[in-house]
Amino acid sequence: MVFSPFTLPALAFLSLSASASPRPRTTSSTASLKLAVRINSEGITNVVAADRARAQALLQGSSSSSIDATNAVRIYTTDVGVGSPPTNYTLLVDTGSSNTWIGGYKPYEKTTTSQDTGGQFSVAYRDSSHVSGEEYLDTVTLNSHLVIEKQSIGVVADYHGNHSLDGILGLGPVDLTQGTVSNAYEVPTVMDNLYAQNTIISEVLGVFFSPASSGDSSGELTFGGYDASKTTGPVSYVPITSTSPANKYWGFDQSISYGYTPILTKAPGIVDTGTNLILIATDAFDKYKSATGGTLDETTGLLKISPDQYDQLLSLYFTIGDGIYELTPNAQIWPRSLNSAIRGTGTTDGIYLVVSDIGNNSGSGLDVINGYCFLERFYSVLDKTNSQVGFATTEYTHATLN
C-alpha cells in the first residue's frame, strides 16, 4: 500500500500524456491477453494473515500498488514486452492497484523508445518494504494486438520482494496512481492509454481465471470488452458503489446469505486479484463460522471442517445487483491439491474453508473482498466507461474440483 512521500503544490501537478500518437479507432471490438498461474513453492504459513493485511491496507484508502508477492499462495502473471525491440518481463496482474512497474528481478533494458520523465516514483508496502525508482515512458507490448506507445512505467532502483517476478501490471482505476510519482498528479494506466490511442473501443476489461486445481490452470484478460465464449450465462451489472473507500477500487454493493440465512446485507466490497480468499466483515464471518461448525486452524488461519461437516455444507449466495451468484460447497473449500502450499497444515487431505474474516465489523466502507476463490468461479467485467462491474457464470461455477 502506498504512503506517498510527495506533497506538491497544486500548480506543480502535471499529468503524463495519455494520448501519444492516437491511431484510428480499431474495428476489432476486443483483444485478449493470456495469463499463467504460479503457486508459491515455498508455501506460506498463514494465508489469512497475508490477505487480511492487504485488506487493512486497502481499507486505509491510500493510492496503491499493493501486492506483496512474497505472501501470495497463488498469483496470476503475464509476460509483457517493454521497449523496441521489447524485453519481456513477468508481471503480476493486479486489479487492486494501478501503477505498472518493472525491474524487480530483471533489470530494465533501455532502447530508443525509452524516455526518462524526470519523475521519481515510490510505492510502500504493508510490511515496510518498498519499491522506488525513476518513472519512464516506453513502448509496452501486451501482445501483437495490444501495443501502447509512451506508457508510463516505474523502473525500480530499490526492490525487496519475490525474486522470480519482475513487477506489477496495474489494472485498477487511475485515481490510485495519485501521489505515486513526484512530478505528476496521476499517471495514465495501461487501460487509459489503450483507449486513448484507439487500440480498444471501450474502457472495459474482462477477467477470466480457471481454478488452479483444474486441468487448465490459466486465465485471460480481454481488453475492450469481454469474451462471451468463457461465460455460460448473461453478464449482470451493478454500478460502482458510492461508499468510500470501496468506490476507489472496482467496488460494488452486495449481500451474502448462507443457504437461506442472511449474514451480510448490502455491504460494499471489491474485486481484487491480489487477494487469495473471500474476506467478509467480522460479524458476518462469525455467523458463517457458527453455521458451518468450522474451527479455526491456528497455523493457516483458515476454518477447518470435518468430512461430515462438508457433507452438510450449504451454498453461499452473493446478491450483486440483479444477479445471484452461488458459491457451492465445493467452491467454499481450499483446493486439497494445494494444501502443501500452506505450510504447517499437517494433513494433505484436510478440508479448509476459503471464506475468512476481513478484520473489521461491517460498516467500515470495505466489508467484502472477492478474491481469487470467487473470481475463479465467475467471469468478471470491469467497465470504466459505464462505471459498473459485471459478473457471469462459467463452466467452473458449479464444477467439483476441490
Map residue 27 onto helix, strand or coil. coil
- Distance between CA atoms of residues 42 and 146, nearest Å: 34
- Distance between CA atoms of residues 254 and 259, nearest Å: 16
Do the beta carbons of residue 356 and residue 87 sit within 8 Å? no
Map residue 96 onto helix, strand or coil. coil
Name every residue whose Cβ is closer than 8 Å to that of residue 128 and which is 6 or more positions away in sequence. none
Neighbour-count burial of 347, counting CB atoms closer than 10 A to its CB (0-12 exposed, 13-18 middle, 19+ buried): exposed
Neighbour-count burial of 228, counting CB atoms closer than 10 A to its CB (0-12 exposed, 13-18 middle, 19+ buried): middle
Do the beta carbons of residue 90 and residue 82 sit within 8 Å? no
Cell readout for 355 is 471464506
Q: Is 94 a catalytic residue?
A: yes
The catalytic residue among 51, 192, 253, 272 is 272
Q: Is 357 a catalytic residue?
A: no
- Distance between CA atoms of residues 50 and 129, nearest Å: 14
The catalytic residue among 51, 68, 94, 297 is 94
Q: Centre a 10 Å sphere on the Cβ of residue 163 and count the other Cβ atoms it contains.
A: 11
Q: Which of 358, 360, 397 is nearest to 54 (CA)?
A: 358
Name every residue whose Cβ is closer than 8 Å to that of residue 80 and which is 6 or more positions away in sequence. 88, 89, 91, 102, 140, 141, 142, 169
Map residue 374 onto helix, strand or coil. helix
Do the beta carbons of residue 284 and residue 361 sit within 8 Å? no
Place of cell 483483444: 31
Name every residue whose Cβ is closer than 8 Å to that of residue 71 and which is 6 or more positions away in sequence. 44, 50, 53, 54, 127
Evaluated on CA atoms 319, 320, 322, 328, the torsion sign reads: negative
State the amino acid at position 281 in one-letter form: A
Active site residues: 94, 272
